[in-house]
Structure 1
């Protein structure tokens, strides 16, 4: 299937996505594109853990996930946030379906580092046919970043940026778009409109890119190295999507590709 666009919505954006965002998704469909949504939920997870007085820690930007924390992660991601997004899509006349990695065997995973990170996983397999079947009947998949273990019993918390990149690669998507609370990659408070893999790695080394932006750009680089044409990082605070004309930071593999 051609013309697939994978869109990752950051957890901090879920409650502030504008009507224009959903109108843009509708325009994508009307112009022959097939959107797939992956969402995060870090802030909401933090809030519930705090309410439940459950301590949480991060290791290299990833939440160490105990069994107790995993229950909260699944409750927030697959329960509250997925359903909230699906309702918003339905409100704008977009047929959508909320799914996790367990549904239809969508995503299988293994522990990334069980001793250090607990139930944080890395994806080993994506059921591409399951998603294309949903897209072929006009559904927009809304994916919670939780994957099932190979034993069909364990389940894992996966970084949503990583999930978006892996899904995009599996679907041979046209592009992957990371919707966040900043307008793109910034250098000296200015948006870098076009950049490449080598420049991105340099920005990480010199500190221009740091914190939560790193998983996004690394997922983008992974998708480019797997054959995708481009990845984008854009803001969800403003009208973003006019069909497929999107403003933000475009990342491509080679320098000549962005001139």
Structure 2
């Protein structure tokens, strides 16, 4: 993957916030309060959102079946139009409206806007219309944030010939975080971080996580969350946090990396 840049980075800290589709309908007042506090502290957030539940609902209405392979939604020619219209036409503007109504100036974006996210096919035979990110035009994000707006990205990329391609939300968030050299990636979930023996861990290392997964202290739905976090750390993001809507939870840092 390459990134293209034409605008120098500002001095503001950069944080990418990933909101899963299941979180969008139940965002609390406290989430927006904490988000505004981040901005007041000099942070320039970028939000990346999914839309799984909404997409599933629209696919079902149209009688289109959907399966997943290796955690990735297989996106047929019939499904991609529904995925695109749901994410760009419904989920994204609804979230932007929520942010605006809470006093946060936000602008919705997709990979089509300014060719922000261009993709090749991940594996068309296996996954259909699913994208492998090739380039992120970070200058588009720079112009939006420098104008005082928060970018809100839906996970739709565009191929060289203009076709929409579905992209996994965690993948988009981690690649955006890497491209803008983010200080941290926040994975917002319905759990307040990693809980071991009923105690939320404040700061953990990848080796500790591996031990807890092996021992069964980390189990169920938390396993894919920590796997996504570790993949982001491996890719080069210095800090990945699994947090709740208060934006507090567990900070996962590579060994040797300090706050």
TM range (shorter): 0.7 to 0.9
In the alignment, structure 1 residue 70 sits paired with structure 2 residue 71: no
What is the distance in 2 between the residues matched to 1:42 and 1:213? 19
Structure 2: segments with no counterpart, 5+ residues:
1-8
In the alignment, structure 1 residue 178 sits paired with structure 2 residue 179: no
Q: Residues 95-174 of structure 1: matches in 2 within 5 Å? A: 95-149=105-159, 151-174=160-183
Q: 1:108 to 1:175 in 2, by over 3 A?
A: same
What is the distance in 1 between the residues matched to 2:223 and 2:165? 22
What is the distance in 2 between the residues matched to 1:191 and 1:255? 21
In the alignment, structure 1 residue 14 sits paired with structure 2 residue 14: no
What is the distance in 2 between the residues matched to 1:142 and 1:56? 26
How far the C-alpha of 1:106 sits from its partner, in A, is 0.7
Q: 1:35 to 1:256 in 2, by over 3 A?
A: closer
How far the C-alpha of 1:180 sits from its partner, in A, is 1.4
Question: Residue 185 of structure 1 contacts residue 209 of structure 1 at CA under 8 Å; is this kept in 2?
Answer: no
TM-score normalized with structure 2 length: 0.87
Question: Residue 196 of structure 1 contacts residue 255 of structure 1 at CA under 8 Å; is this kept in 2?
Answer: no
In the alignment, structure 1 residue 94 sits paired with structure 2 residue 95: no
Aligned to 1:247: 248
How far the C-alpha of 1:48 sits from its partner, in A, is 1.4
SS in 2 for 1:110: strand
How far the C-alpha of 1:62 sits from its partner, in A, is 1.1
Aligned to 2:3: none
How far the C-alpha of 1:200 sits from its partner, in A, is 3.6
What is the distance in 2 between the residues matched to 1:60 and 1:248? 27
What is the distance in 1 between the residues matched to 2:213 and 2:70? 14
What is the distance in 1 between the residues matched to 2:29 and 2:60? 31
Structure 1: segments with no counterpart, 5+ residues:
241-245
In the alignment, structure 1 residue 228 sits paired with structure 2 residue 229: no
**CA deviation profile, 1:23-46 (whole Å, cap 9, x unmatched):** 222222222110100000111111
What is the distance in 2 between the residues matched to 1:105 and 1:201? 38
What is the distance in 2 between the residues matched to 1:203 and 1:152? 46
Q: 1:132 to 1:71 in 2, by over 3 A?
A: same
Q: How many residues align?
A: 248
Which moves more between the two structures, 193-202 or 103-112? 193-202
Question: Residue 213 of structure 2 contacts residue 223 of structure 2 at CA under 8 Å; is this kept in 1?
Answer: no
How far the C-alpha of 1:192 sits from its partner, in A, is 3.6
Q: 1:255 to 1:202 in 2, by over 3 A?
A: farther
Q: 1:153 to 1:28 in 2, by over 3 A?
A: same
Aligned to 2:43: 33
Aligned CA-pair RMSD: 2.1
How far the C-alpha of 1:202 sits from its partner, in A, is 4.9
